[in-house]
Amino acid sequence: MDLQTEAVKDLWKDVDRLGDLLHCFNCSTCLSGCPASYGDPPLLVRNLARKVLYGLEEELFEEDTPWACVSCSKCEEMCPMDVKPFELILHIRQWQSTNDETRVPPSITEIYRRGYTQAVATNDELRAELGLKPLPTINKNEEQLKLFQEMLMKTPVVAANDYMFG
Could you say whether residue 144 binds other proteins (CB under 8 A)? yes
Could you say whether residue 7 binds other proteins (CB under 8 A)? no
Q: List the one residue from 8, 27, 81, 152 that touches other proteins (CB under 8 A).
A: 152
Contact 117, 111 (CB under 8 A): yes
Could you say whether residue 24 binds other proteins (CB under 8 A)? no
Could you say whether residue 32 binds other proteins (CB under 8 A)? no
> Which residue, 7 or 147, has its beta carbon nearer to other proteins?
147
Could you say whether residue 104 binds other proteins (CB under 8 A)? yes
Could you say whether residue 5 binds other proteins (CB under 8 A)? no
Contact 165, 109 (CB under 8 A): yes
Q: What x/- string results for residues 75 through 94 when contact with other proteins is judged by CB under 8 A? A: -xx------------x--xx
Contact 31, 45 (CB under 8 A): yes
Could you say whether residue 137 binds other proteins (CB under 8 A)? yes
Residue 105: how many other CB atoms lie within 10 Å: 13
Note the helical H segments in the chain.
11-15, 45-54, 57-62, 74-78, 85-99, 107-114, 124-129, 142-153, 156-160
10 phi and psi, to 5 degrees?
A: -100, 20
Q: In whole angstroms, how far apart are CA 2 and each of 8, 61, 104, 128, 148?
A: 12, 11, 19, 55, 34
Sites of contact with other proteins (CB under 8 A): 33, 35-36, 38-41, 64, 67-74, 76-77, 90, 93-94, 97-98, 104-105, 107-108, 111, 115-123, 126-127, 130-132, 135-138, 141, 144, 147-148, 150-152, 154-158
